[in-house]
Amino acid sequence: MNTIHTIGYSLIATLLLAGCGASSENSNTAVDKAFLNSTSLPSLHILPVLTDEDGNSNDAKATYTLTANQNVNVNIETPNGNWTTPMWRYNNNPLPMVIKANRGDQMTLNFNNKLMSDSTIHWHGFKIPANMDGGPDFPVAPNKSMTYSFTMNQPAASMWFHPHPDMQTGKQVYMGLAGVFLLNDDITNELEQSNQLPSGDKDITLLVQDRRFGMAQNGVKLLQYKTQDMDNDGMLGDIVLVNGSQSPKLDVSTGKYRLRLYNVSNAKNYDFAFSDGRSFTIVGTDGGLLAKPVKVNHIFMGAAERVEIIVDFSKDRVGSKVALISKAFQDDNMEMGNMGDNDNMNMNDNTEMNNTNMSPMEENNMSNMDNDTNNSNTMNQESTPMQGRMANGTEVNIMRFDVTKEITDTTTIYTSLPQRAEIHNRLDANNADNLGNERQFDMTMDMNGMGGMMTFVINGKTFDPKRVDEYVSQNSTEIWNITNNSPMAHPFHAHAIQWQILSRNGVPASGTDLGWKDTFLVRADESVKIIGKFEPVNQGDYMYHCHILEHEDAGMMGYFRVGDNGNVK
Ligand code: C2O
Ligand code: CU
Ligand code: CU
């Protein structure tokens, strides 16, 4: 297959359209009475947990099999009726699967690829050797298998897994391949047993993903991927699914709930809040629990970020309802309204702005590229522009909590994690091995003239599977400085490590930025300084990239090699 990594082209269209209809910034949310009173909401699906195949869930060994399949018929439930959508799923299960493990467990994960294209399973957030990390350098061909085996010696966290094949990650995740990995340790076990963290049926994982569906034909609606030019700047749908359903409801009792919020959308940002403006407590970020919980009334999340929140229904009357929403916000690229004197994007002249469509030739290349690995599941038909696409920043109802049962809840959330938790040790910038020579990652977007093609790059380079971009010594502690010199926010992610954020635009980290992070948003014009320690287990070639999957697939990605023995030939 021809490796074209520069396939974005239509940001300008986004920018032109963004000027009209910008929603007001952080306006007070008007309570959506119709949604709160709706009697047609589907019930939230609780995600199915895989069971350990070795038959003993208490030993420190676990074996699982994940088989990726195309054409798994999924019943999509929405307030406006249900339909069937063929999706790509693991183990033919209509829902994303959950794997639970304990810190230190020896994992054996057998992956069978029954797709018609190469795939991998990448273990997002795990500190594991590069040859087990499921990067694009270890593709698993159709009808082939691979066994991943590793041990996770890192704090308990809400992590996940997804395919990571070269240039096909966005599509495979969009079609439905992603799963949840919940790591526990003796600290989370202790906190759960002593009622300092909700557990059991009060510990709920919520996978939030936006999707676009085609027109119904005989009760079937096909997923639409990259059916509009603008999708190449980040695939946005118009239907937000939570655990596979649109706007579901969950019956809760008058106690505290631990919600693990996963933004595993391809490109969408959310500003999560409750419809009554209530505050809630964030106890965990991507890589584990916070040393001290943080009280907030909203949380902004980019693609691939996770938080664990505690929401308290103990003061709610039985019969009351509250919605989890994503508030309206001003999207970063709205600031491009005044493009004439914006120097963030290297546009040569204004005439290019009228030339936002692909030439017929490019269009053909695009659809051929898709067809290489494609199937019947996506439609190539172009839908009407803007239809099926909800812009970042549009307010949307995510789900609803219906308080149905009175209980006495004795949970008292911890105020400080046990002292042995690693998060208490803030890495000291003065002890970084590259102090004074920090590694620099500059994210930019360029119009490169030819027909308005948009490129997404880091340090001016497009991903090359044969090139190592950064060499890192084993066991070193490094400061990385990520700058965004583009007009939109990018979620930066690096494999193999959990970072501590030092500062944003020079302002020392606070709040949830004090938690372990493997992915973090870098807003337009922002600069984020992070510190991390590469551990003995970190060995080989790993990726760093933007986690807007269409940017990643278009080459906004690079390799860093830890130690001398890499994987890239
Ligand atoms: Cu979640 Cu390189 O990926
Ligand atoms: Cu990752
Ligand atoms: Cu990006």
Cβ-in-10-Å burial (0-12, 13-18, 19+) of 241 comes to buried
Count of CB atoms within 10 A of residue 460's CB? 9
123 CA to middle of ligand 1, Å? 8
Query: Which atom in ligand 1 lies closest to the alpha carbon of residue 495?
Result: 2
pLDDT (tens, 9 = 90+) of the chain, 569 residues, equals 344 443 333 443 333 333 333 333 334 455 689 999 999 999 999 999 999 998 887 789 999 999 999 999 999 999 999 999 999 999 999 999 999 999 999 999 999 999 999 999 999 999 999 999 999 999 999 999 999 999 999 999 999 999 999 999 999 999 999 999 999 999 999 999 999 999 999 999 999 999 999 999 999 999 999 999 899 999 999 999 999 999 999 999 999 999 999 999 999 999 999 999 999 999 999 999 999 999 999 999 999 999 999 999 999 999 999 999 999 999 887 444 333 333 334 333 333 333 333 333 333 333 333 333 333 333 334 444 468 999 999 999 999 999 999 999 999 999 999 999 999 999 999 999 999 999 999 999 987 656 566 899 999 999 999 999 999 999 999 999 999 999 999 999 999 999 999 999 999 999 999 999 999 999 999 999 999 999 999 999 999 999 999 999 999 999 999 998 776 64
Give phi and psi for 52, each to the nearest 5. Answer: -60, 125
Residue 449 pLDDT: 55
Of 393, 556, 567, 564, whose CA–CA distance to 482 is shortest? 556
**Per-residue confidence (pLDDT) for residue 58, from 0 to 100:** 77
The whole-angstrom separation of Cα 179 and Cα 176 is 9
User: How far is residue 145's CA from residue 568's CA, in Å, rounded to a whole number?
Assistant: 20
Q: Are 401 and 242 in contact (CB under 8 A)?
A: no
Q: Is 493 in the pocket of ligand 1 (CB under 6 A)?
A: yes
Is any ligand 1 atom within 6 A of the Cβ of residue 495? yes
Binding site membership of 545 for ligand 1 (Cβ less than 6 Å): yes
Residue 360 in 3-state DSSP? helix
Nearest ligand 1 atom, CA 162: 1
Which residues, in sequence order, are CB contacts of 92 under 8 Å at separation 6+? Answer: 67, 69, 72
Whether residue 18 contacts residue 336, with contact meaning beta carbons closer than 8 Å, is answered with yes
d(CA 512, CA 261): 14
What's the confidence (pLDDT) of residue 395? 96
Is the C-beta atom of 306 inside 6 A of ligand 1? no
* CA 287 to centroid of ligand 3, rounded, Å: 21
- Look at ligand 1, atom 1, and give the residue with the nearest C-alpha: 124
Say yes or no: CB of residue 122 within 6 Å of ligand 1: yes
Residue 325 alpha carbon to ligand 1 centre in Å: 26
Ligand nearest to C-alpha 524: 3
| Neighbouring residues of 438: CB distance < 8 A, sequence distance ≥ 6 | 432, 478, 479, 480, 481, 529
Whose structure tokens read 């966005």? 170
- Nearest atom, ligand 1, residue 124 CA: 1
Determine the distance separating the centroid of ligand 2 and the alpha carbon of 403, expressed in angstroms: 37
User: Is the CB of 44 within 6 Å of ligand 1?
Assistant: no
Name residues with Cβ closer than 5 Å to ligand 3, which is an ion: 490, 546, 548, 551
Q: What is the pLDDT of residue 30?
A: 57
The kind and range of the H/E element at 369 are helix 360-372
State in Å: Cα 145 to ligand 3 middle.
31
74, two tokens: 């999924």
CA dihedral sign, ordered 451, 452, 458, 463: negative
CA of 123, nearest ligand number: 2
Query: Using a 6 Å cutoff on CB, does residue 551 contact ligand 1?
Result: no
Helix (H, G, I), strand (E, B) or coil at 65: strand
pLDDT the model gives residue 54: 85
Closest ligand relative to 497 C-alpha: 2
Check if 226 has its Cβ closer than 6 Å to any atom of ligand 1. no
> Cα of 488 to ligand 3 centre, how many Å?
8
pTM above 0.75, yes or no: yes
The reported pLDDT for the residue numbered 448 is 67
CB 531 within 8 A of CB 540: no
- Ligand 1 atom, smallest distance to 543 CA: 2
pLDDT tens figures, 299-322: 999 999 999 999 999 999 999 999
Dist. CA 558–CA 556, nearest whole Å: 7
Q: Which ligand is nearest to the CA of 518?
A: 2
Task: Please name which ligand lies nearest the alpha carbon of 11.
Answer: 3
Cα 195 to the center of its chain, rounded Å: 30
How are strands ordered across the β-sheet holding 83-90? Answer: 83-90, 61-76, 106-114, 145-151
Separation of CA 225 and ligand 3 centre (Å): 18
Query: Which ligand ends up closest to the CA of 305?
Result: 1
CA of 290 relative to ligand 3 center, distance in Å: 27
Pocket flag, ligand 1, residue 490 (CB < 6 Å): no
Per-residue confidence (pLDDT) for residue 497, from 0 to 100: 97
Distance 553 CA to ligand 3 centre (A): 10
